Structure 1
Amino acid sequence: MANIFGSIVKTVYTVGSIPIEFKQKRLDPINAQEKELKRLLRKASLTAFGTYYNFDAILNSDSLFDAFRTNVPVHDYNSMYREWWFRELNGEANVTWPGVVKYFALSSGTSEASSKFIPVTNNMLRSIKRASIRQLICATRYDFPPDFWDKGILMIGGSTHLQYNGTYYSGDLSGISAANLPFWFQYFYKPGRKISKTVDWNDKLNEMVKNAPKWDIGVIVGVPAWVQILLERIVKEYNLNTIHDLWPSLAAYVHSGVAFGPYENSFKKLFGKPVVYSESYLASEGYIAYQIDLNKRIMQLIMDNGIYYEFVPFDDNNFDSEGNIKRDCKTLTINEVEENVGYAILVSTNAGSWRYMIGDVIEFVNKQRCEIMIKGRTKHFLSLVGEHLSQDNMNQAIDHVSNVMKLDINEFTVAGIHYENRFAHHWYIGCDEPVDKDKILNMIDEHLKRINDDYRVERMESINELFIDVLPTHVFYDFMEKMGKIGGATKFPRVLKGARYDEWVAFISNYTKQ
C-alpha cells in the first residue's frame, strides 16, 4: 500500500495537480485572498456574527477589504470569547460559523496561564488535511531514498483521547487532528491509535520508547523539546550511538511551534545521517504556512485554504508595552505589507475567527511569494523602557553563545524586572554542562548590543543590571509538568511576565533549596 501511495503522491505532483503554493509564483496573492474573504463572508452571512456585522452589505460594497476592516472590529481572545465563542461552548449553533462547533482546541499560546478554547470546525479540519497533504507533496521534489514512502510517520502530539462534556470535545489541536486522520494515513501513522490516546505524557513517552524497535520511521513530526526527549530516551534505553542505529531510514523532521535554532546542535548529536528539517506553522486557529523549499528556512503563507489574513505593524503605534493590540490599530492587506518589517497577524477563518489576533509576529522575506519568517510573539517582546528586545533577538543571542562556547542550550527564558529604581533583565538558561555563567551573560549582552540599537542605548541609560541563573534543562520541563503543560504542542515561553513569572520564581526557589 505504501509504495502505491508514494507513486500516487509523485504522480499528483509531476502530472500537473500542482498545489497553490507553486502556482503562487505566477499569481497575484491579493486575488487569492479576495476570493477567500468572499467565500468566508458568504458562508457565514446567516450566522449571528454575520448578521450582526451585515456581511451581505460588506459583500456588496465597492471596496471589499475596506468595508470589512471598517465594519468588523479587531478581536483578541477575550473579546471574541466574551461576545461570541461562549455561546458556541454552550452548544448554540450558527454563532460565528454555520452549524454546531464539535471541537475546541485548548491553547494557552505560551503567554497566559489559563487555557483558551479555540473553535475547530469540520471545515477547518479539512483545511488542515489539505495543507498537510500539500506539504507532503513538497517532499516529492527532493531525492529521498526509493523506500522512503514505505516508512512510518511518527507524530508526537497531544492525546487523541479528547475531553467530552456532553456538548463538545476539547484537547490539543494536534490531538484533535490525529483523532481525525484520513483512513489511508493510518498505515503510516505512529505511535498508533492506542498509544496516541494516552493522556499522561510520561506514560506515553514510556510506551513510545518500548515500541520504538517495532517501527521503521522515515519522518518525525513534533515540537523540538519533546522529540528530543523521546530520541534521547530511545538512544539510552537501547544503548545506541544515534537514533539511526534503530531507524536507518529516518530522513525528515518536521518541527513547529518554536524556533529550532537552540535545539539544532542537540539534534545533530542524535542523528547519524543527514536529516532534512522542515518547518510548519500550524496554530490552533489554522494551518498558516509551511516550508516549501527545504534548502531555505522560510515558509510560505497558504493563501487559499480557509484563512483571510491582515497584518498589523508591530510597533508602539499599534501595541502597548504589554503586547496588547490597540483598538485604533492600523491593519494592512497582503498587497500593502513591506519586507523586513514586523507584523502581528489577524486571521478570519472557516472556524469562526474574525479579524482575530493570534499573537505571533512575522516578517516578510519575499512579499511577492508570500514568504515569511516567524520572529516571535506579541507578548514575548521585552520593552520595559524602549529596548524593543524581540524573541528573534533572543534566539540569535543564544545561538551565538551555543556556537562559540560549543554548548547545548535547549531552553531559556528572560524576564524584565524593576531593580533599584531602574530596570534589569533576568536570564534563565537551561544547560547540562559546567559553564561560566558570567561569560554567557556577557556574550548575550554584547551580541544584543550589536544587533539591536535600542537595546544598546537603553543598556547605557535605564537597564543598569543583568542577572543570570543556569539550571539543568529538566527544571524547565518539570515546571511545565507542574503547570499541566507537558508534551503535545506546548513549549516553554521565552519571556516570562506577571503571574507566570511569579510561579517560576517560586518553583526554582524551591528547586535550589533541595
Structure 2
Amino acid sequence: MATKALFNSLVNWFIKQRIDQIQNFISHPIDTQQGLLFSQLYRAEDTVYGKLHGFKDISTLEDFQRQVPIVHYEDFEPYIERARQGEKDVFWPGYIRQFAKSSGTTNAKSKYIPISAESLEDCHYKAGKDLLSIYANNHPGNQLFTNKNLRLGGSAEMYKDFNTKYGDLSAILIENLPFWVEITTVPSRKVSLMSEWETKLKAIVEEVRTQDVGSITGVPSWMMILLQRVLQETGKPDIGTLWPNLEVFFHGGISFKPYKQQYRQLIGRDINYYEIYNASEGFFAIQDRFGSSEMLLMLDYGIFYEFIPMDEFGKSTARVLTLEQVEMGKNYALVISTNGGLWRYVIGDTVQFTSLSPFRIIISGRTKHYINAFGEELMIENVETALDSACSSTGALIKDYTGAPVYMDGKNSGAHEWMIEFSKEPDDMDTFTRIFDQRLQELNSDYEAKRYNDMTLRSPIIHVATQSLFYNWMASRGKLGGQNKVPRLSNDRSYIDPLLELYHKEKAR
C-alpha cells in the first residue's frame, strides 16, 4: 500500500511539472516555436544539408523561408538514402541509425523516415508521457497507472540494410522502450515482435484475455478486429464485462467518427476517448479536453510548423504561413522541420485550426486523398460528416469504405463510386444514398454545383461490400495491422478497381 501511494505521488508530481510546461508554450507559442527553430538550425549548420542551404547565415524567419526549399519525400530522398547507407552529418548531426518505413498510403513507393535519438526521445516518447499527463490531469480519479495498457502496433519486425535498421515506427518504439513501460503494457515484447498478423493476433488474444486492462491504444479499425476476436475466444457478452476497469481508448490514424457507436456496443458501456495525431515523421497533437474532437498542437517536441493554404497548394505563388498568420476554418497543408532532420517537409496531411489561443486543430484530410476530378474538391471531412448523417438516419454502421471518381464517358456525366463495408447495413440503401448525397451538397458548394441537374455529376454509386472485403484486400497487399490504413478517397481509380475485382470474385463464390 505504501509503495502504491509513493508511486502515485511521483506520478502526480511529474504530471504537475509537465502540465506547467504545456501551459508555458500555450502562453508563449510564437517564442517557443522560433526558439526551437533557431536552436535546431544551429545544431545542423555543419551538416551537408545545412551547408548547402546556408544555415549559418540564417538569422531571421524570412532568411529561413528564402534559403531552405519546401520539399516532398521525393525531393528529400537522395539525402535520406545517403544517411541510410551510413553517411554521417547528412541533414542532422551524427549518424541516423533507425528509419521508420512508411506504410505508403499516398505513394506505392516505400518511404524511409529518419528517426534520430532526439526525435525518438524528445518527440515520440515525450508525447506518450504527455498523453498520460493530460488524461490524468483531466480525470483525477483515474486508475490508469494501476491497470494494464493494451497497445496494438504494426509489424514489429526490424530489418538491417547497410549499417542501419528500418521497420514500422511501432517496431522502433518497442525496441527502444524503457523497462518500466514493458511492465505496464500488454502484449509482451515477445508477442509484439511477431511479424505475421494472424499468428500475432492469436497470441495477443491469449495474453490479454486474462489481464486487467484499463486502457487501450491503437488505430480504431485494427483495434476493433482484435477486440472482436477477444470476445469470440472468451465468450463474454462485451469487452466491459471482461475488463471492468477499462476506462479510456487512445486512438489515432483514422477518423473515429464512423466507429464510435460500434465501440459503445462492443464495450457495452461508455468509456473515455482521446484522439492523438502522430505519424512516422513526428507526434503533432493531442486531444487535451474531454469530449472535444479538437487537438492541442504540441509546440515543444522539436517540430517547427508551417502551413500552405490548400487553395494555393501546388502553385508556384503559394504562401507558406507560420502560426501567427493562420486563420480558423481554413484547410492547410502541414509543413514540418524536425529534430529528425526533415527540413520544410510536406507531410501530406491537411489540418484546420479550430482555435488560435491556444492553437488547436482537427485533421481535415490529405493533400493527395481527395476527389477533385470535376472541380468538386471533395475532402475527407465532408465525406465523414455526410456518412455519419446517412448512418444516423438509416441505422447503419460502417466498418470501412473508399471512394473514387467515375470519369465522363461520351454523353454520360461523371459520378463518385463508393465501396462501403457495413457492420450493420442500412434499413434502406436508397435512402442511405439519397441522404449521403444531399448532405454532401449541403456541406460542399462545389459538389452541389456539379450535381445540379446531374450535368457534371450524377448520383453516387454505392456498392455494399462483402464481409471482410477490405481485410482480404489489405492482406493481398501485405498491409495487415497497425499503421496500415484503408485509403478513404482517391482522385483516380487505383484503389477502387482492384477492390471491385475482388468484390466480384467474392460475390461469384
Is 1:463 matched up with 2:457?
Answer: yes
Residues 1:370 and 2:359 are matched in the alignment? yes
Q: Secondary structure at the match of 2:112?
A: strand
- 2:260 and 2:5 mapped to 1: Cα distance? 31
1:427 alignment counterpart: 418
Structure 2 equivalent of residue 31 of structure 1: 31
Which residue of 2 is the match for residue 305 of structure 1?
A: 301
User: How far did 1:381 drift?
Assistant: 1.3
The Cα of 1:264 is off from its aligned counterpart by 0.8
Residue 322 (structure 1) aligns with: none
Using a 3 Å threshold, how does the CA distance of structure 1 residues 87 and 208 change in structure 2: closer, same or farther? same
Mapped partners of 2:503, 2:317: distance in 1: 40
| Cα displacement string for residues 283-307 of structure 1 (whole angstroms, at most 9, x for unaligned residues) | 1100111111123221011111110
State the 1:450 CA deviation: 1.1
Question: Does residue 120 of structure 2 align to residue 110 of structure 1?
Answer: no
1:54-93 superposed Cα distances (whole Å, 9 cap, x missing partner): 10001xx3xx211111111110011110x31111121111
Q: Is the 8 A contact 2:97 2:116 kept in 1?
A: yes
> Within the alignment, does 1:89 sit opposite 2:84 as a pair?
yes
Q: 1:117 to 1:9 in 2, by over 3 A?
A: same
What displacement does 1:22 show? Answer: 2.4
Q: Does 1:412 align with 2:391?
A: no
CA–CA distance in structure 1, aligned partners of residues 318 and 347 of structure 2: 15
Equivalent residue for 1:323?
Answer: none
Letter in 2 for 1:33: Q
Q: Deviations over 1:192-229 (max 9, x none)?
A: 11100100111111111112232111110000011101
The answer to whether residue 443 in structure 2 is matched with residue 441 in structure 1 is: no
1:447 corresponds to which letter in structure 2? R
Distance 2:211 2:156 in 1: 20
Using structure 1 for the length normalisation, give the TM-score. Answer: 0.93
Q: How far apart, CA to CA, are the structure 1 residues paired with 2:176 and 2:340? A: 16
Kept in 2, the 8 Å contact 1:158–1:171? The answer is: no
- How far off is 1:506 after superposition? 2.8
In the aligned structure 1, how far is the partner of 2:292 from the partner of 2:417? Answer: 33
Listed one character per residue, the Cα deviations across residues 475-497 of structure 1 (whole Å, up to 9, x for unaligned) are 11111111111101111110133
Report the Cα distance in structure 2 between the residues aligned to 1:169 and 1:391, rounded to whole angstroms: 34
SS in 1 for 2:415: strand
For residues 366-400 of structure 1, the C-alpha deviation after alignment (integer angstroms, 9 at most, x for no partner) is 11211001111111111112111110000001111
- For residues 126 and 48 of structure 1, what CA distance do their matches in structure 2 show? 24
Q: 2-side partners of 1:146 and 1:291: how far apart? A: 17
Amino acid at match of 1:49: Y
**Which of 402, 427, 437 matches 2:391?**
402
Map Cα deviations across residues 120-158 of structure 1 (whole Å, 9 max, x no partner): 111110021112111111122233656432111111002
The superposition leaves residues 337-393 of structure 1 with CA deviations (integer Å, 9 ceiling, x where unpaired) of: 011110010000011111000011100011121100111111111111211111000
Q: 1:244 matched to which residue of 2?
A: 240
In structure 2, how many angstroms separate the alpha carbons of the residues matched to 1:163 and 1:4?
41
1:478 aligns with 2:472: yes
Give the secondary-structure state (helix, strand or coil) at the position aligned to 2:374.
coil
Larger RCO: Structure 1 or Structure 2 (Cα < 8 Å, ≥ 6 residues apart)? 1
Give the Cα separation in 2 of the matches to 1:472 and 1:509.
9
Q: What residue in structure 2 maps to residue 70 of structure 1?
A: 66
Equivalent residue in structure 2 for 1:509, among 497, 504, 508: 504
User: Aligned pair 1:204/2:195, yes or no?
Assistant: no
Which of residues 231, 251, 261 is equivalent to 1:235? Answer: 231
- 1:183 CA drift (Å): 2.0
1:192-341 matches, within 5 Å, as: 192-315=188-311, 317-319=312-314, 326-341=315-330
Report Cα offsets for 1:444-495 as digits up to 9, x if no partner: 1011011111110011241134211011341111111111111011111101
Q: CA deviation at 1:3?
A: 5.8
Contact 1:148 1:249 in 2 (8 A): no
Deviation at 1:117, TM superposition (A): 1.0
What are the superposed Cα offsets for residues 172-200 of structure 1, whole Å, 9 maximum, x if unpaired?
11221122112221210210111001001
Matched AA of 2:460: L
- Whole-Å Cα distance in 2 between the matches of residues 243 and 159 of structure 1? 25
Deviation digits for residues 223-257 of structure 1 (CA, Å, limit 9, x no counterpart): 00111011111112111111111111110100011
Q: Is the 8 A contact 2:25 2:300 kept in 1?
A: no
- Specify every segment of 5 or more residues in structure 1 that has no aligned partner in the other structure, as ranges: 320-325
Structure 1 distance, partners of 2:142, 2:280, is 34
- Partner letter of residue 462 of structure 1? T
CA–CA distance in structure 2, aligned partners of residues 43 and 473 of structure 1 = 52
AA at the equivalent of 2:81: F
Q: Secondary structure at the match of 1:187?
A: helix
1:413 to 1:327, Cα distance in 2 relative to 1, 3 A: same
Is this contact kept in 2: 1:113–1:500, CA < 8 A?
Answer: no
Which deviates the most, 32-41 or 146-155? 146-155
Task: State the match for 2:379 in structure 1.
Answer: 390
Identity %: 33
Secondary structure, in 3 states, of the residue corresponding to 2:246? coil
Question: In the alignment, residue 476 of structure 2 is paired with which amino acid?
Answer: K
Instruction: For residue 109 of structure 1, report the CA deviation from its aligned partner.
Output: 4.3
Query: Match of 1:308, SS?
Result: strand
Query: How far apart in 1 are the matches of 2:202 and 2:501?
Result: 29
Closer/same/farther in 2, CA of residues 150 and 2 from structure 1, 3 Å limit: farther
Q: Taking structure 2 as the reference length, what is the TM-score of the superposition? A: 0.94
CA distance in 2, matches of 1:17, 1:148: 17
Q: Secondary structure of 1:464's partner?
A: coil
CA contact (8 A) 1:432 1:472 kept: no
Residue in structure 2 matched with residue 180 of structure 1 by the alignment: 176
Cα distance in structure 2, aligned partners of 1:40 and 1:141: 31
CA distance 1:165–1:462, change in 2 (3 Å): same
- Unaligned stretches of 5+ residues in structure 2: none
Can you list the C-alpha shifts for 1:260-299, whole angstroms capped at 9, x where unaligned?
0001111000113321100111111001111111232210
Q: Which amino acid aligns with 2:485?
A: K
Q: In terms of mean alpha carbon deviation, does 477-486 or 137-146 score higher?
A: 137-146
Deviation for aligned residue 1:23: 2.4
Q: Which one is further off, 504-513 or 238-247? A: 504-513
What is the aligned counterpart of 2:481 among 483, 487, 492? 487
Structure 1 residue identity aligned to 2:438: E
Q: Which sits farther off after the overlay, 364-373 or 459-468?
A: 459-468
Q: Work out the CA distance in 1 between the residues paired with 2:44 and 2:192.
A: 34
Pairing 1:121–2:116 present? yes
Superposition RMSD in Å: 1.7
* CA distance in 1 between partners of 2:171 and 2:181 (Å): 15
Q: Distance in 2 between matches of 1:7 and 1:483?
A: 48
Give 3-state SS (helix, strand or coil) of 2:92's partner.
Answer: coil
Q: Secondary structure at the match of 1:499?
A: coil
CA contact (8 A) 1:45 1:51 kept: yes
Q: Is 2:9 aligned against 1:13?
A: no
Identify which of 75, 78, 94 aligns with 1:79.
Answer: 75
